[in-house]
Amino acid sequence: EKFSHRIQLTERVHFARIEVGGPANWQQAIEERLGGKPHLVLLAYALHHFPDPKQILAALSGFLPPGALLVINEENPKSPLFQLKHLIRGCLQKDTDVEWHRSEAAWRTLLVETGYQPGTPARGFDLLPGWELLTPALCWSLVFTARRV
């Protein structure tokens, strides 16, 4: 097992989805939907859309109970496929200036600064079969975990 944080499901699982720009009282909305604070938060390709993800992570840290698990999936700016996509998208859509991609090390630093303990190094996933086995540091997508301290 490459992930250092494991989840033991002993109770029913409830889901809540809150959109960015959602209710101002998002904490209350989540607690009402879940019947309490979440113990697991999935952030899939989300953090790089915030100019200040440290603010988002700190707000989550202040809300989540100790031990809560974050599962984060972000694009990897070191990936050749990502770089190609970013170049093409920048030329065609001209919207990549509002994305703030970071390396795994930079994400880990932000997590520590905002009250989380990062798990083992990220696991890479890629569109090219087997690429994650050959060069995981250059995969398109990185998945990593962190626990709320």
Decide if pLDDT at 21 tops 70: no
Confidence of residue 8 (pLDDT cuts 50, 70, 90): low
Distance from chain centroid for Cα 146: 9
pLDDT of residue 71: 93
Percent of the chain clearing pLDDT 70 (strictly above): 87
Q: Where is 88: in which H helix or E strand? A: helix 80-92
Dihedral sign, Cα of residue 102, residue 104, residue 107, residue 109: negative
pLDDT of residue 133: 77
pLDDT over 60 (residue 3): no
Mean pLDDT over 6-23 rounds to 64
> Which stretch, 17-31, 76-90, 102-116, has highest mean pLDDT?
102-116
pTM value is: 0.81
Q: How many residues does the chain have?
A: 149
Sort residue 130 into left (φ over 0), alpha (ψ -120 to 50) or beta. Answer: left
How far apart are alpha carbons 125 and 63 in whole angstroms? 30
| Centroid of chain to Cα 57 | 10
Q: Which amino acid is at 89?
A: R
CA 98 to chain centre: 17
